[in-house]
Amino acid sequence: MSRAISPVRGAVAGLVGNTPLTRLSAISAELTHTLWAKCEFMNPLGSVKDRIANFMIEEAVRDGQLRPGGTIVEATGGNTGVALAAVGATRGHRVVLTMSDKIGPDKVALLHAWGAEVVICDHRAAAGSDHHFVSMARTIAAETPDSYLVGQFDNPRNVEAHRRTTGPEIYAALDGHVGAFVAGVGTGGTLMGAGGYLRQRDPAVRVVLADPAGSILAGAVTGEPVEPHSYLVEGIGSDFLPGLFEPSLITDAVTVTDHESFFMCLRLQREEGLFVGGSAGCAVAAARKFAETLDGPPTNIVAVLPETGTRAMATLYSASWRAQHGLTDLGE
Ligand code: PMP
């Protein structure tokens, strides 16, 4: 597929997707199966969310939900916000993002750099109350003429973007020889979309949920409910069931502790040369555990690396932050 820069929409749209699928040599050497990494951190804005931001905005323009010069509104302080800010800026839309005041200053500065307006909300506001960041986005969208509320947690185009791009890219890269696909769930777009596509092509493909210990999602797959508790990996796992989450599409769930996720991030950096965020460590740690339990002839197991490690400089790549959180024996 062409990577030519579109003069109309800027480089962002032209560079999204077609990310490399790379073999994890050092980690695979310990296993009978081969682990592969889908390098979503190599999207232009540094995360898997470039795919959905680009697709959801293109489709909203196509069907008239977002008009030329209209305002894009979303509740997110994370990667979706960065991707929407960039896509919006290059397409000439105002972008308003609401987020909790827990989000660090670096992320807010990055959003401002792209010209997005950021509305900071009190993280103590109860879900459903007027001051909660999700309600605030709805209010802003309702009060702003020509606005479009993206709604990534309920927007089926989030899944569709991965069904059309991420899934087919993986299938093609391995000539259809995919044994398992492993990813965490934030909204569920990646796992449901790419996993759904791969299972449709080959019903024997295992679709594996990588879930942080403390999230309730693995319990929804296994039928063994878990008591939610907080954890440090960002962007995946949940204490509620996201609207796009379909446990029936998932064949296996693997629970991963913060320690295992971050240990794997440091291994990926030092042994494979991949600098990625905590959810990537969680996916690869889950893929490795899954590989150890998978009988049968050697197969290909694909894990998603959703975001660049530069988003985690103040957290998992800071030795003092790790020490503060008792993560001191990660092999350094
Ligand atoms: N990793 C990170 C860092 C994320 O921000 C997200 C999305 N919240 C995910 C993984 C999960 O992606 P999805 O929303 O497609 O389930």
Same domain, 223 and 318: yes
Task: List pLDDT tens digits, range 160-200.
Answer: 999 999 999 999 999 999 999 999 999 999 999 999 999 99
CATH code, domain with 118: 3.40.50.1100
Residue 104: Cβ within 10 Å count: 12
Identify whether residues 105 and 206 lie together within a single domain: no
Domain assignment of residue 5, yes or no: no
Token pair for 10: 């800027």
In a domain, 330, yes or no: no
What is the band of 9 on the pLDDT scale with cuts at 50, 70, 90? Answer: low
Residue 311 alpha carbon, nearest atom of ligand 1? 3
Q: Looking at the predicted structure, is the pLDDT value of residue 114 above 90?
A: yes
pLDDT above 70: percentage of residues in the chain? 96
139 occurs within a structural domain: yes
Q: How many domains does the chain have?
A: 2
- pLDDT-derived band at 12, boundaries 50, 70, 90: confident
Say if residue 59 is in the same domain as residue 195.
no
* Cα-to-centroid distance, 199 and ligand 1 (Å): 20
Q: Is residue 315 part of a domain?
A: yes
* Residues 1-12, mean pLDDT to the nearest whole number: 51
Residue 6's pLDDT is what?
A: 44
Distance CA 215, CA 226 (A): 8
Looking at the predicted structure, is the pLDDT value of residue 90 above 80?
yes
Minimum CA distance residue for ligand 1 atom 2 = 235
190 and 219 in a single domain? The answer is: yes
For residues 197 and 183, what is the distance between their CA atoms, to the nearest angstrom?
14
Query: What SS3 string covers the chain?
Result: CCCCCECCCHHHHHHCCCCCEEECHHHHCCCCCEEEEEEHHHCCCCECHHHHHHHHHHHHHHCCCCCCCCEEEEECCCHHHHHHHHHHHHHCCEEEEEEECCCCHHHHHHHHHCCCEEEEECCCCCCCCCCCHHHHHHHHHHHCCCEEECCCCCCHHHHHHHHHHHHHHHHHHCCCCCCEEEECCCCCHHHHHHHHHHHHHCCCCEEEEEEEECECHHHHHHCCCCCCCCCCCCCCCCCCCCCCCCHHHCCEEEEECHHHHHHHHHHHHHHHCCCECHHHHHHHHHHHHHHHHCCCCCCEEEEEECEEHHHHCCCCCCHHHHHHCCCCCCCC
State the pLDDT at residue 7. 43
In a domain, 4, yes or no: no
Give residue 11's pLDDT. Answer: 65
pLDDT attached to residue 2? 41
With a Cβ cut-off of 6 Å, ligand 1 is lined by 48, 78-79, 184-190, 234-236, 277, 279, 306-307
Dihedral (Cα; 42, 23, 161, 5), 10-degree rounding: 40
Q: Are residues 297 and 186 in the same domain?
A: yes
* Domain closes at, from 125, 149, 173: 149
- The mean pLDDT value for 30-41 works out to 98
Q: Is residue 143 part of a domain?
A: yes
Please give the torsion angle defined by the CA atoms of residues 52, 54, 60 and 66, in that order, rounded to the nearest 10 degrees.
130
Is 269 a member of any domain? Answer: yes
Residues 127 and 184 in one domain: no
Same domain, 37 and 85: no
**Among 258, 246, 257, 260, CA closest to 217:** 246
Residues 191, 167 contacting (CB under 8 angstroms) = no
Q: How far apart are CA 268 and CA 52, in angstroms?
A: 26
> 206 and 255, same structural domain?
yes
pLDDT at res. 13: 77
CA–CA separation, 51 and 56 (whole Å): 9
ipTM at complex level: 0.99
Distance CA 252, CA 242 (A): 18
Catalytic annotation, pick one of 38, 49, 102, 107: 49
Active site residue 38: no
Q: Same domain for 95 and 179?
A: no
Looking at 149, 175, 199, the residue that finishes a domain is 149
Q: Are residues 145 and 282 in the same domain?
A: no
- Domain co-membership, 278 together with 171: yes
Provide mean pLDDT across the span 101-112.
86
Give the structural domain span for 66. 49-149
Q: Which atom of ligand 1 is nearest to the CA of 187?
A: 14
**pLDDT(206) > 70:** yes
Mean pLDDT of 236-254: 95
Q: Are residues 92 and 116 in the same domain?
A: yes
Question: Domain boundary residue among 95, 127, 149?
Answer: 149
Q: Is the per-residue pLDDT at 219 higher than 90?
A: yes
Asked if 304 contacts 47 with a C-beta cutoff of 8 angstroms, the reply is: no
Closest atom, ligand 1, to C-alpha of 188: 16
Find the mean pLDDT for residues 78-101. 94
CA of 305 to the centre of ligand 1 (A): 10
* 109 lies in some domain: yes
Q: Closest residue (by CA) to atom 4 of ligand 1?
A: 235
Q: Confidence class of residue 261 from pLDDT cuts 50, 70 and 90?
A: very high
Averaged pLDDT of the chain: 93
